[in-house]
């Protein structure tokens, strides 16, 4: 996401405490660990930081932030531990069950935070937001974390626009496509026109994974539908959902054969490598194109993803990459101090610049900072970055589908269950009747909500 992003799923995923205990044997607490601090002495305090975002440039930024914090706070060490997009759920479930929790977790989607909060597993984040400076945030940036009135379950480490349409202008020109698609019909026609010569139209995912789940949620909204009603009744059964599935099925012939198992990394690579004429991803596409396939760097641009008709408003998936603190974490004072330190301009800007446009700043003061704007990718693609920023700021996810919706603390459980990706596979790969499959899936979601 989130691709890389990289986003997705829910560490606890609505899992009950009993189920969490049962998961320990299968999952263990293990996560690949990259510790940047030296071996701590018995008197030292060690802060454990978990994140699934760990590209080489991001790791370099984390190392910079850790070194700066340790220099300013003698006796406190920080160890960064890498999790994964698809695997952090059981890792964190096991950690919560055993009590051996990390001090700080970043870059998980907001609906995961809501789920943890609802289960009483998180420390209120109010004091950290205060230390950062609540007035520095964009207006409303923390609303999604106010699950209970006046209490914040976490904050955002950034914003993301995970379902932008990326498109090759050179291939458009070659195929006679005179405008960037706005509707599904236009998208399909453009992809069909650009497909050929070893290039496919799109890299949509059809695997049973988080990217397929989150992508189809977006398509349902782009079709004018919703998964839950504003009052959080299951609202999946609709013509909009059926239309989304039928269109999604029609796009499969325009995707590489491997799309049946695509997740974030494979989908991004397909576009960046030049194998597809369009892509669906965050701004990480920009830095990857410039590093891995610079021959097309002047030909890529983005737009909000097409919808069923121009009458339907765009719906941008923002997973609201988060920062939160487990309530059982040791050394709480030092943990909160480090959490606030992550937003210090020098380190925060370096972290954002690790993948420009991928994670966008949540602090207006950072966006307006000349040091943030002074980046070759941001300078080279000002219109694309600005569009992603505005789209992400107005974005939503299953935990908060529209401004009219209540916060949905069951969203993480639904995402992690895989039932929506399974719905896609049944319709697209198994050729089952869409209405029947949607009805079955709605019942499964209702069972998850009631569990």
- Judgement on whether residues 313 and 325 belong to the same structural domain of the protein: no
- Position 1 scores a pLDDT of 43
Structural domain including 374 reads 2-159+320-393
Q: Is residue 248 part of a domain?
A: yes
Q: Is residue 151 part of a domain?
A: yes
pLDDT band at 43 (very low <50, low <70, confident <90, very high): low
CATH of the domain at 301: 3.40.190.10
Domain boundary among 363, 393, 423: 393
Query: For residue 420, what are the contacts with CB-CB under 8 A and spacing of at least 6?
Result: 212, 213, 216, 217, 227, 414, 441
Q: For 169-190, what is the mean pLDDT?
A: 98
Q: Is residue 355 part of a domain?
A: yes
Q: For 101-107, what is the mean pLDDT?
A: 97
- Judgement on whether residues 343 and 261 belong to the same structural domain of the protein: no
Dist. CA 325–CA 108, nearest whole Å: 12
Which residue, chain included where needed, has tokens 């970043």?
106
In the predicted structure, residue 26 carries a pLDDT above the cut 60: no
- Judgement on whether residues 175 and 152 belong to the same structural domain of the protein: no
- Judgement on whether residues 155 and 303 belong to the same structural domain of the protein: no
- Judgement on whether residues 206 and 97 belong to the same structural domain of the protein: no
pLDDT in tens, 227-275: 999 999 999 999 999 999 999 999 999 999 999 999 999 999 999 999 9
- Judgement on whether residues 271 and 379 belong to the same structural domain of the protein: no
- Judgement on whether residues 32 and 138 belong to the same structural domain of the protein: yes
- Position 9 scores a pLDDT of 33
pLDDT in tens, 330-385: 999 999 999 999 999 999 999 999 999 999 999 999 999 999 999 999 999 999 99
- Position 90 scores a pLDDT of 86
Query: For residue 233, what are the contacts with CB-CB under 8 A and spacing of at least 6?
Result: none
- Judgement on whether residues 244 and 371 belong to the same structural domain of the protein: no
- Judgement on whether residues 119 and 93 belong to the same structural domain of the protein: yes
- Judgement on whether residues 272 and 313 belong to the same structural domain of the protein: yes
- Position 29 scores a pLDDT of 33
Q: Is residue 306 part of a domain?
A: yes
378 or 38: which carries more pLDDT confidence?
378
Q: Is residue 168 part of a domain?
A: yes
- 375, with CB counted inside 10 A (0-12, 13-18, 19+), is middle
DSSP 125-144: -HHHHHHH-GGGBPTTTTGG
Dist. CA 132–CA 144, nearest whole Å: 17
Q: Is residue 403 part of a domain?
A: no
> What are residue 276's phi and psi, to 5 degrees?
-130, 150
Dist. CA 351–CA 346, nearest whole Å: 9
- Mean pLDDT of all residues in the chain? 90
Q: Is residue 402 part of a domain?
A: no
Q: How many domains does the chain have?
A: 2
- Judgement on whether residues 191 and 300 belong to the same structural domain of the protein: yes
Q: Is residue 213 part of a domain?
A: yes
- Judgement on whether residues 279 and 417 belong to the same structural domain of the protein: yes
SS3 397: strand
Which residue, chain included where needed, has tokens 């890529």?
300
């Amino acid at each position: 996401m989130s691709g890389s992003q990289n986003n997705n799923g829910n560490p606890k995923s609505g899992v009950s405490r009993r189920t969490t205990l049962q998961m320990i044997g299968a999952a263990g607490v293990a996560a690949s660990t990259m510790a940047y601090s030296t071996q701590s002495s018995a008197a030292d305090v060690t802060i454990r930081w978990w994140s699934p975002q760990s590209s080489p440039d991001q790791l370099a930024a984390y190392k910079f932030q850790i070194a700066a914090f340790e220099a300013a706070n003698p006796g406190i060490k920080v160890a960064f531990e890498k999790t994964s997009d698809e695997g952090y759920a059981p890792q964190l479930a096991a950690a919560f069950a055993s009590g051996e929790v990390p001090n700080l977790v970043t870059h998980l989607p907001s609906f995961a935070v809501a789920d943890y909060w609802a289960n009483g597993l998180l420390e209120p984040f109010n004091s950290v937001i205060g230390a950062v400076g609540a007035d520095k945030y964009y207006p409303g940036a923390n609303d999604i974390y106010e699950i209970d009135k006046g209490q914040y379950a976490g904050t955002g480490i950034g914003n993301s626009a995970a379902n932008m349409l990326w498109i090759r202008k050179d291939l458009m020109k070659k195929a006679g496509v005179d405008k960037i698609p706005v509707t599904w019909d236009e998208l399909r026609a453009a992809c069909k026109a650009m497909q050929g010569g070893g290039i496919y139209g799109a890299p949509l995912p059809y695997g049973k994974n988080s990217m397929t789940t989150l992508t189809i949620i977006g398509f349902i909204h782009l079709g004018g539908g919703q998964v839950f009603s504003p009052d959080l009744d299951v609202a999946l059964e609709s013509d909009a959902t059926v239309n989304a599935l039928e269109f999604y099925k029609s796009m499969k012939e325009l995707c590489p054969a491997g799309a049946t198992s695509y997740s974030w990394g494979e989908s991004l690579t397909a576009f960046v490598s030049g194998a597809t004429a369009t892509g669906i991803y965050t701004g990480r596409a920009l830095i990857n194109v410039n590093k891995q396939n610079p021959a097309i760097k002047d030909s890529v641009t983005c737009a909000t993803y097409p919808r069923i008709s121009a009458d339907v408003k765009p719906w941008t998936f923002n997973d609201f990459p988060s920062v939160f603190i487990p309530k059982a974490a040791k050394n709480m004072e030092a943990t909160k101090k480090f959490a606030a330190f992550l937003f210090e301009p020098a380190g925060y800007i370096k972290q954002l610049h690790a993948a420009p446009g991928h994670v966008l700043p949540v602090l207006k003061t950072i966006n307006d900072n000349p040091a943030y704007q002074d980046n070759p990718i941001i300078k080279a693609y000002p219109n694309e970055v600005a569009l992603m920023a505005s789209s992400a700021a107005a974005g939503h996810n299953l935990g908060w589908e529209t401004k009219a919706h209540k916060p949905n603390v069951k969203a993480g459980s639904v995402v992690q269950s895989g039932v929506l990706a399974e719905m896609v596979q049944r319709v697209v790969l198994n050729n089952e009747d869409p209405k029947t499959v949607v009805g079955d899936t709605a019942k499964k979601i209702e069972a998850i909500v009631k569990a």
